[in-house]
């Protein structure tokens, strides 16, 4: 199709994006989709031929490239090959899938667990398998796109509440007519801001109003709690989440998503959720890598301690240098820039000095709240973090941010 000749809504959308991207690329301000050429051990990578400190990674415990996890993946390929025989329900299930699901259930303290081929697919499929027309789904305004998409796809009445505002949540719960099914969904740690949900109050409200509670632990698994078990451990609460969702692509250096919960719930999902029934099983190497990673987390508890120390150093140091890091308490550290231009300019300076951070701009965050979204991991050393903070400080001075 000749895009120049037609002028319908589709071509206008494509053209508008083309113009925006061309503008950024011409000014050398396009930083997305940059391929990492090589891991250099620890938290260093080679990008565009330059060695850089990696401050945009979700590998919070520094497990990407861990020898024991790599070995498990290689052994699984040798035993089962590189793919499966199809979907889990038919010929795609392998013993390694069963082992992984048992490992997850044990780690999360539940009766059972189910895995999917991505966290995104998990949220989409699970939310829309649990609620539908006539039901209500209630979601924090800053929840991840995969939650929003799952809520929309479900066809349930979709109510959103002001970010982490428990009065607003209660108002929403009161709005639901008597007897209607209700599901409350929230991130545990918010992916753009790094702040933590008011979990005890959320649990209390769900109980008071008989709502099901689903929590997405993409950024809290391996990050929160003394043994990395997540949000419940962080608040000293036990098994108070009905639907414990997480991803195998962040702290766990693989790919996939999971739900942990009661056996009957998991069995229901296994026979209803379409991403499980109609999409191929996790590849053997990825299932084995994920399974090994949970064991490494338990066997190497120093990683969680080191992440906590590094997080304190990074947030504290950036604040001392005069930056606004918003409400973060975790390894996701927003450095508020304001305008998109400031965020792009600071990213450029950081990259030139060997610090790999990325800008997050509208529409991913509201206009005026553009930021560098830096992450710190257990693989960073204190002197590397100091260096990165000094570079970000210099970048901030150049644009008069601090």
Ligand X SMILES: *Cc1c(COP(=O)(O)O)cnc(C)c1O
Active site residues: 191, 219, 250
- The distance of closest approach from Cβ of residue 272 to ligand X in the complex, given in angstroms and rounded to an integer, is 20
- The residue (of 231 and 391) whose beta carbon lies closer to ligand X is 231
- The residue (of 84 and 146) whose beta carbon lies closer to ligand X is 146
- The distance of closest approach from Cβ of residue 108 to ligand X in the complex, given in angstroms and rounded to an integer, is 16
- The residue (of 185 and 304) whose beta carbon lies closer to ligand X is 185
Please pick, from the candidates 103, 164, 247, 254, the single residue that binds ligand X as defined by CB under 6 A.
247
Q: Is residue 191 involved in binding ligand X (CB under 6 A)?
A: yes
Please pick, from the candidates 66, 88, 108, 144, the single residue that binds ligand X as defined by CB under 6 A.
144
- The residue (of 118 and 325) whose beta carbon lies closer to ligand X is 118
Q: Interaction with ligand X in 302-341: which residues (CB under 6 A)? A: none
Q: Is residue 125 involved in binding ligand X (CB under 6 A)?
A: no
Count of positions on this chain that bind ligand X (CB under 6 A): 14
- The residue (of 123 and 273) whose beta carbon lies closer to ligand X is 123
- The distance of closest approach from Cβ of residue 326 to ligand X in the complex, given in angstroms and rounded to an integer, is 17
Q: How far apart are CA 294 and CA 63, in angstroms?
A: 10
Binding part of the chain for ligand X, among 67-75, 112-120, 324-332, 349-357 by CB under 6 A, reads: 112-120
**Closest residue to ligand X, based on beta-carbon distance:** 119
Please pick, from the candidates 131, 185, 218, 343, the single residue that binds ligand X as defined by CB under 6 A.
218
Binding part of the chain for ligand X, among 30-38, 116-124, 131-139, 369-377 by CB under 6 A, reads: 116-124
Q: Is residue 216 involved in binding ligand X (CB under 6 A)?
A: yes
Binding part of the chain for ligand X, among 102-110, 152-160, 212-220, 270-278 by CB under 6 A, reads: 212-220
Residue 164: which residues within 8 A CB-CB, separation 6 or more?
Answer: 140, 142, 190, 195, 197, 198
- The residue (of 251 and 347) whose beta carbon lies closer to ligand X is 251
Q: How far apart are CA 73 and CA 85, in angstroms?
A: 18
Please pick, from the candidates 53, 119, 150, 396, the single residue that binds ligand X as defined by CB under 6 A.
119
- Binding site residues, ligand X, CB under 6 A: 118-120, 123, 144, 146, 187, 191, 216, 218-219, 247, 249, 257
């Amino acid at each position: 199709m000749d895009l120049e000749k037609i002028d319908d809504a589709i071509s206008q959308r494509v053209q508008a994006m083309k113009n925006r991207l061309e503008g950024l690329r011409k000014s050398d301000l396009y930083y997305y989709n940059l391929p990492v050429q090589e891991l250099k051990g620890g938290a260093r990578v080679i990008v565009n031929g330059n060695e850089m400190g990696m401050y945009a990674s979700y590998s919070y415990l520094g497990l990407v490239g861990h020898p024991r996890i790599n070995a498990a993946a290689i052994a699984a390929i040798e035993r089962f090959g590189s793919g499966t025989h199809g979907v889990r329900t038919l010929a795609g299930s392998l013993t390694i899938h069963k082992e992984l699901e048992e490992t997850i259930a044990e780690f999360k303290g539940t009766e059972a667990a189910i895995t999917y081929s991505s966290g995104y697919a998990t949220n989409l499929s699970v939310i829309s398998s649990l609620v539908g027309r006539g039901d209500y789904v209630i979601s924090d305004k800053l929840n991840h796109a995969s939650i929003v998409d799952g809520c929309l796809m479900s066809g349930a009445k979709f109510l959103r509440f002001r970010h982490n505002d428990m009065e607003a949540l209660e108002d929403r719960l009161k709005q639901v007519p008597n007897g209607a099914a209700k599901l409350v969904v929230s991130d545990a740690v918010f992916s753009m801001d790094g702040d933590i949900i008011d979990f005890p109050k959320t649990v209390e409200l769900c109980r008071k109003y008989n709502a099901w509670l689903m929590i997405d632990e993409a950024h809290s698994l391996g990050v929160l709690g003394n043994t990395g078990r997540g949000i419940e451990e962080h608040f000293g609460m036990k098994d108070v989440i009905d639907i414990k969702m997480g991803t195998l692509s962040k702290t766990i250096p693989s790919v996939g998503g999971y739900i942990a919960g009661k056996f009957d719930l998991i069995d229901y999902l296994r026979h209803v959720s379409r991403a499980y029934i109609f999409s191929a099983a996790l590849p053997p190497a990825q299932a084995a890598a994920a399974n090994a990673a949970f064991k490494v987390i338990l066997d190497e508890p120093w990683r969680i301690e080191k992440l906590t120390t590094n997080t304190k150093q990074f947030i504290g140091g950036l604040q001392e240098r005069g930056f606004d890091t918003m409400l973060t308490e975790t390894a996701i550290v927003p450095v508020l820039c304001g305008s998109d231009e400031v965020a792009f300019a600071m990213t450029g300076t950081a990259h030139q000095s060997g610090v790999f951070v990325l800008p997050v701009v509208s529409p991913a965050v509201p206009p005026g709240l553009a930021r560098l979204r830096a992450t710190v991991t257990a693989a960073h050393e204190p002197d590397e973090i100091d260096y990165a903070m000094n570079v970000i400080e210099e970048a901030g001075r150049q644009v008069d941010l601090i």
